[in-house]
Structure 1
Amino acid sequence: MYLKTILLFLLITLTGAKVPKEFSARVIGVVDGDTVKVLYQNKPIQIRLEHIDCPEKGQAYSTRAKQFVSNSIFGKTVKVVNKGKWHWKRLIAEIYYDKNQNLNKSLVKNGLAMHFIKYSKSKEYSKLEQKARINKVGVWSLSKVIAPWEYRKAKKNKTFIEK
């Protein structure tokens, strides 16, 4: 059974499987704050949350972001809305749960994710982040905030190690 699941996952991810622009799936795993695994038609699909970037493992609030996602959607059936884009074998999408709440936006509102402006020009996500910044919510309550993409780059270049 385990091998079958792995083979199905590889088949979907390696072939850039076609999925509808909107579908329902059950959440079977939470990788981190911005990556989850869902089961769609008995096939696992890894989803990268669109428009956002959560703190990396080792950064402040990374565990809280993952826990927020887990508490919100793990084991539930969610609505996945996507534009058919895949990146690093992950479907880029927004996830809706509990009476049409947008998980991606909830993370930004709660200061557990930043608007990923390199890949998103959404004014709505920019406004949500600005409000969280002003209210010093989540990561914005810290005296020094390092964007996840800056953290990854610095870690790759071994520029610093965050405590």
Structure 2
Amino acid sequence: MTKRYSILLFILCTLLSFTYDNKLPEEFYAKVIGVKDGDTIEVLYKKEPIVIRLEHIDCPEKKQPFGQKAKQFTSDFCFDKKVKVISRGKFDRYRRLIAVIEYKDQVLNKELVANGYALHFRKYSKDTTYRILEDQARIKKKGMWSQEKLIEPWLFRKRKTSKNKKTNQ
């Protein structure tokens, strides 16, 4: 019984230390090793890859107008650079860390909105700074705001999902 207890105790301690050690700090520096799209990047932190979803914003999908430009903007801003990741430790349903990315005192999330490559994702963000930046980009017809008609990324995804459901029936 004591041998079995010792093994269980060892396993429990190992699991607890693993969970504790892998808890991310609210702020850390990491190298950007990939740009999946305008609002999703991958960083390397302590030799471990972490996929990050940019907080407060939603970029056009890759197949939407300005989707590739948003991805290129993000890539130009931070690919292969050591950035500051600021997070509250929350993950989305795809297990991506929700975070703000800073590089040289600029915030990628805000720069995307200010340049018309992202919308303020009001459903998940109450930060009015992003709304103001979006309004200014819209007035100046920057990026996606230069289009006659804009389809919000969340509506584009919803439409794509309902089309897939219809074809699978």
TM-score tier, shorter chain, comes to 0.7 to 0.9
Match of 1:8 in 2: none
Partner of 1:127: helix, strand, or coil? helix
Summarize the alignment of residues 11-160 of structure 1 with structure 2, pairs less than 5 Å apart: 17-87=22-92, 88-97=94-103, 99-158=104-163
In the TM superposition, structure 1's runs of 4+ consecutive aligned residues that sit over 6 Å from their partners are none
Q: CA deviation at 1:18?
A: 1.6
Question: TM-score, normalised on structure 2?
Answer: 0.82
| Structure holding more helix per residue | 2
CA distance in 2, matches of 1:51, 1:129: 12
Question: TM-score, normalised on structure 1?
Answer: 0.85
Q: Deviations over 1:123-163 (max 9, x none)?
A: 1000000000111110111000000000000111129xxxx
Letter in 1 for 2:112: L
Any stretches of 5+ residues in structure 1 without a counterpart? 1-14
How many residues align structurally? 143
Q: Deviations over 1:42-90 (max 9, x none)?
A: 1000000000000002100000000011111000000000011001110
Q: Deviations over 1:1-26 (max 9, x none)?
A: xxxxxxxxxxxxxx7x5200000000
* Stretch of structure 1 that moved more, 150-159 or 125-134: 150-159
Pairwise CA RMSD of aligned residues?
Answer: 1.2
Any stretches of 5+ residues in structure 2 without a counterpart? 1-18, 165-169
CA distance in 1, matches of 2:159, 2:77: 31
Percent identity (aligned):
58
Higher radius of gyration, 1 or 2 = 2
